[in-house]
Structure 1
Amino acid sequence: MITEELIDRMADKCILNDDDFDAAVLDLRPKRIQTVNLHHLALASRSEDFAKTIEKADYITADGWPIVSLMRSRGIDPARVTGSEFIERMLAGRRFHGKKAAILGADRHVGYDFRGQLHDSGLHVVFREHGNRGDWKPKPLAKKLQKYGVDLLIVAVTPPFGDMIGEEVRRAGFTGVVINVGGAVNMATGNATMAPGWVRATKIEWFYRLAQEPRRLFRRYFVECLPVFLRVVLPSYLHRNRH
C-alpha cells in the first residue's frame, strides 16, 4: 500500500543528484540503493511486501518526473537520477577502478557482454548469476558474494522481483553495496534501446518507450500506472502549487 508514511520515508532517503548517487556507491559501506519510478509505486499499491521493500532501502532515487514531483511535495528538490545513467557513468570513467562487482540477472550473453564493458572501465566482475531466478536462494548467494569479496552487487532484474531479491540477499549477510538497476544492463549492452538525450530532457521518455514496445507497455502505463498517478502524484503536485 502507498501510504503517507511511505512517501515521507522515501523523501528522507532520496538521493538528490548523480554525484550523491556515485558517492553513496563508492562509500562501499553496506547499503541498498533502489531507483523508484511510477511503475514501482503501482506495484507497491498492490503489494504490501513490495511497499516494505521500498521502505527498507537505504537510499532511493527519483527515476522520472512523477517521483521528482512527489518528492518536491515533501520539501526536497531532487534531480531525476536513474540506474541507466549510473551505468553509463560507470562505464565511461575510471571512478570504480579496482572494485569487485557481481551481476545478478540479465541473460547470460548480456552478462558476458556487460562483464567485458565493466572490465574496460577497470571494474572486475568476479561473480555472475543468470539462469532461472526461481532457483536463487538469498543465503547461498550472500555466502558466494562474501567469498569472492564483492564490493558491488548489480541486480539486473526488473521489479518487483529484482528489488526484493536484492533486499533478501542483503538481509542474508551480504556486506557490500546492492544497487537495483532493472533493465539498465540490457540498455548498456545494446540489447534494449535507451531514449535519446533530447527525449529524456523533454520528459517524454515514457512515450518513446511506449512507441518502442506498445503491446508490453500499454497495460503498464495506462492500466497500472495512470490510476496511481491520478490518486497519489497529481494531488500532491496540485497541493504544492497551491501553496
Structure 2
Amino acid sequence: MSSGAAGAVGGAVGAGLGGRARVTVAGVTVDTLTEEQVVEHVVTALRQGRGGHVVTPNVDICRACSRDPEVRAIVEGADLAVPDGMPLVWASKLLGTPVPERITGADLIWSLSAAAASAGLSVYLVGGLPGVAVRAAEVLSDRHPGLRVAGVVSPPFGFETSAEGLAAVREALLRARPDLVFVGLGFPKQDRLIGLLRADLPHTWFVGCGSAIGFAAGAVRRAPEWMRRSGLEWLFRLAAEPGRLARRYLVDDLPFALRLLTSCLLRHAARRLRPDR
C-alpha cells in the first residue's frame, strides 16, 4: 500500500480535551463536534482565560500530513481540529466513526464573530490583500452589531521569511491583545505563525481560516450552498482560479481523495461481510 493509501485509513476513537470524542480519518485525528459546539467551546474557554488554536484539516492538509512530519505536528498540536472537506465526512461514515458535519474556516469566521459580538469579545484579522481585511472587518461589524474589531493586518508577501516582518505582526497583536484572531494566510503558513504567537498571547484563540477573510470581504466569491453540501466546492474554486489551483486539486488532492474513499469503502464492505455480523 502506498503512503497515500496508508494515510487514508482510520477509524480509531479517542478522547480529546474535556473528554470530547475524537476520531482518526485520513491519518489525522479530528474532534467530533458540530460548528455550534466549537463556538461554545471557544467562548467558554475564553471566559475561563484559556486560549487555543483551531485547525480545519481538509484533503490537502491530510495529504500534506501524510508526507511531512512537521506539518503533521502542527495539526496534532492544535487544541481543536475539525474536518473541512466532505471527503473526510464521507470517509468517517464509511469507517463507522462519523463526524457530525463539515466545519470550515469560512463558516467559523461568521459564527465565532457572532458569538464574540454577543459576549463582548474582540476579534483581529490577519491576512488578505491590502484593503481586504479592512473590508472584511466592516462587513463582519455590519452583520454583527457590537462586534469589537481590535485591528487588522495584511502582511506583505514573504513577511514570514524575515525577523522584521514577523516582529511587525507580533507587535501589532501584542498592542491589540485580542480575544480571537482569524489568520487567513493559507496552511501551513498561517498555523506556523499561530505557533509563534501563542506563547505571547496565551489567553487568545487563533483560527487558521484560509480564504475566509477574502470570502467575508466579498473579494473572493464562495461556491453556492448546494455545491458545498455535495462536496463540489473545490470544483467551483478550480473554475474560478484554474491557474493557481489546477495542480493542487487535480494532480495532488483528487488522487488522494479517491484513495481515501476507496480504502474506507473496502473496509466498510469487509466489516459488513464479517460472519459475526
Structure 1 and Structure 2 fold alike (TM over 0.5): yes
Aligned: 1:179 with 2:179: no
User: 1:176: how far off?
Assistant: 0.8
Counterparts of residues 43-62 of structure 1 (less than 5 Å): 43-62=64-83
Aligned: 1:148 with 2:176: yes
The partner residue of 1:108 within 122, 125, 130 is 130
Q: Deviations over 1:143-201 (max 9, x none)?
A: 65344331001101111211221122214543210111100110111111100112222
User: 1:215: how far off?
Assistant: 2.0
Once the two structures are aligned, what percentage of the paired residues are identical?
Answer: 25
Counterparts of residues 1-243 of structure 1 (less than 5 Å): 11=23, 13-27=30-44, 28=46, 29-72=50-93, 73=95, 75-90=97-112, 93=114, 96-97=117-118, 98-120=120-142, 121=144, 122-132=146-156, 133-134=159-160, 135=162, 136-137=165-166, 141=169, 144-243=172-271
AA of the residue aligned to 1:115: A
Separation in 2 of the partners of 1:124 and 1:190?
A: 20
Separation in 2 of the partners of 1:141 and 1:96?
A: 24
AA of the residue aligned to 2:126: L
CA RMSD of superposed structures (Å): 2.7
AA of the residue aligned to 2:134: Y
Separation in 2 of the partners of 1:229 and 1:13?
A: 17
Tell me the matched-pair count.
Answer: 240
AA of the residue aligned to 1:179: V
**Paired residue secondary structure (2:56):** strand
Separation in 2 of the partners of 1:182 and 1:202?
A: 20
User: 1:141: how far off?
Assistant: 4.9
**Paired residue secondary structure (1:36):** coil
**Deviates most, 36-45 or 125-134:** 125-134
Name stretches of at least 5 consecutive residues in structure 2 with no aligned partner: 15-21, 24-28, 272-277
With over 3 angstroms needed to count, the CA separation of the structure-2 counterparts of 1:71 and 1:202, relative to structure 1, is closer
AA of the residue aligned to 1:100: S
**Deviates most, 168-177 or 79-88:** 168-177
**Paired residue secondary structure (2:220):** coil
Name stretches of at least 5 consecutive residues in structure 1 with no aligned partner: none
TM-score with structure 2 length normalisation?
Answer: 0.76
8 Å contact kept, 1:102–1:127: yes
Q: Deviations over 1:55-112 (max 9, x none)?
A: 1111111111111134342623321111112223356x46534211121221230111
With over 3 angstroms needed to count, the CA separation of the structure-2 counterparts of 1:177 and 1:95, relative to structure 1, is closer
User: 1:142: how far off?
Assistant: 5.2
Separation in 2 of the partners of 1:52 and 1:94?
A: 29
8 Å contact kept, 2:51–2:204: yes
8 Å contact kept, 1:71–1:78: no
Separation in 1 of the partners of 2:199 and 2:268?
A: 37
Q: Which has the larger radius of gyration?
A: 2
Residue 18 of structure 2 corresponds to which residue in structure 1? none
Separation in 1 of the partners of 2:131 and 2:236?
A: 26
8 Å contact kept, 1:142–1:170: no
8 Å contact kept, 1:101–1:124: yes
**Paired residue secondary structure (1:84):** helix
8 Å contact kept, 1:39–1:225: yes
